[in-house]
Every structure is written in structure tokens, then in C-alpha cells.
Amino acid sequence: MDQEHIIGKYIHRLLETGHPPASVYAFVKDLEISEREFFEQFASFEVLESHIWQRVATDTISSVEQGEEWAGFSSQQKLLTFYYALCDKILDQRSFFLVRFPRLPRGDRPSQSLCGMRRAFTDFAGQILDSGKENGEVACRGNLTKTYPLGLFGHLLSVIEFNMEDTSTGFERTDAYIEKSVRLAFDVMGTQAVDSAFDLFRFLSGRSWGPNDQS
């Protein structure tokens, strides 16, 4: 039995019962496979879930990079495109995300199960930022610049968590959060942090959602 089949069965079982299987033994018994067949693919359920989160990132990256207009996008446009594509992809597995995406109190370290996603995304973000340095979107600030990919990973987690809590029609608030926060991120990495910070503050405080404000 291959990885995709095991993952599909795992997700189905979890969503049917509301919790992970009690043990690998119980899980493989229902699948009518041996423990050996499971452990040849995954060392544990945590590793299985880590594979899911990593695949969400890599599949989204592959999808956007194949777009006809990708090569002509600015670095900011590339990050925006990735986030919009990611949130669209989440719709295919939203129930699983709502139940299992690791969310920790602010300031805590991300779960170990997100390490694969982090590696895939920070490599991708590093390439985007390198392009931004070349075209002037990203200022070179020595060692500080090296922290940007990891900082953007924190931003990625905030986008996913915002989307998980979004109840607006068509997740329009998520779209607005992505637009404003990406603009702020590039202004911070560039030169215009103050204006974008104020715009994001207005949005998060609710002041940007008056009847006459469509920004």
C-alpha cells in the first residue's frame, strides 16, 4: 500500500471519529495491512501528518511556478499568488485543517510536525527574496536579511490561522489580510513600513470595513 492510500485512509478515519486512531495496530487492522507496510512508509502518525503539511506547501509551490505569468511577477506578486493558491487548496481539506493544523499560543515554537512545511516554504521564500534584492524590492541589511525567510514562515502560519477563523463570505477577509500583510512585509523589507503598518492596523481593528471603505 502506497503513501497516498495510507494518508487518505488516515484522514478519513480521523474526520469520521474526530480523533486520530488509537494506535498504529488498530489503524492497520482496519486497513487490512501489516504494521510493516505502515512503518515502511511512516515512522509514526506525527510523521504522517508532517508529510501532509509539507505536501500542502510543495504542491502549492509547484502549482504557482507552473503558471504562465509566474516568471514576470514581482517578488511581492509571487508571494501573494502563493498565499491565494494555498488558501484555495485548503478548501479541499478544510475539515482536516480545522481539526489538526497545529496552533500554539502566540510566541510558542511551531509544532515539530510543521518542520517539513517550514523547510519547503523557507527555501521557496528565499528564492523569491533573492529576486527581490535584484530588482530593489528587498533592501540588503546584512545578517538581518537572512532572517526574512523564517519571518515569512511565521507570516504563512498567521495566514493559515486567519483563514481557519474566517467566517466571511468567500473568505474575503482572508484575501484582505493577505493583501495588506504582504504589502506590509515588503514595505518592512523595503522602505515604507509606516504607511502599511497603519493600513494593516486599521484592517485588523475593523475600521477598514465600513460601508464606504472597500480597500
pLDDT at position 68 over 70: yes
pTM of the model: 0.82
Considering just the CA atoms, what is the radius of gyration of the chain in Å?
19
Query: What is the model's pLDDT at position 188?
Result: 84
Query: What is the model's pLDDT at position 106?
Result: 53
Q: Given pLDDT bands bounded at 50, 70 and 90, which one contains residue 199?
A: low
Judged by DSSP in three states, 73 sits in: coil
Most confidently modeled range among 20-24, 62-66, 204-208: 62-66
CA distance linking residue 83 with residue 162, whole number of Å: 12
Percent of the chain with pLDDT over 90: 64
CA distance linking residue 48 with residue 53, whole number of Å: 9
Query: What is the model's pLDDT at position 190?
Result: 81
CB 199 within 8 A of CB 184: yes
Closest among 112, 181, 191 to 151, alpha carbons compared: 181
Span 101-155, pLDDT tens digits: 886 555 555 577 899 999 999 999 999 999 998 888 888 878 878 888 999 999 9
DSSP one-letter string for 116-182: HHHHHHHHHHHHHHHHHHHHTSS---THHHHTHHHHHHHHHHHHHHHHHH--SGGGHHHHHHHHHHH
Helices (H), 18-147: 24-31, 35-39, 45-65, 75-90, 94-100, 115-135, 143-146
Query: What is the model's pLDDT at position 208?
Result: 44
Span 3-46, pLDDT tens digits: 999 999 999 999 998 888 999 999 999 899 999 999 999 999 99
Query: What is the model's pLDDT at position 215?
Result: 44
pLDDT at position 206 over 60: no
As a whole number, mean pLDDT of residues 171-196 equals 84
DSSP state of 111: P
Query: What is the model's pLDDT at position 29?
Result: 92
Closest among 183, 177, 176, 174 to 214, alpha carbons compared: 176
pLDDT at position 56 over 80: yes
Q: Given pLDDT bands bounded at 50, 70 and 90, which one contains residue 80?
A: very high
What residues contact 169, with CB distance under 8 A and at least 6 apart? none
* Mean pLDDT for all residues in the chain: 86
Query: What is the model's pLDDT at position 211?
Result: 42
pLDDT at position 213 over 70: no
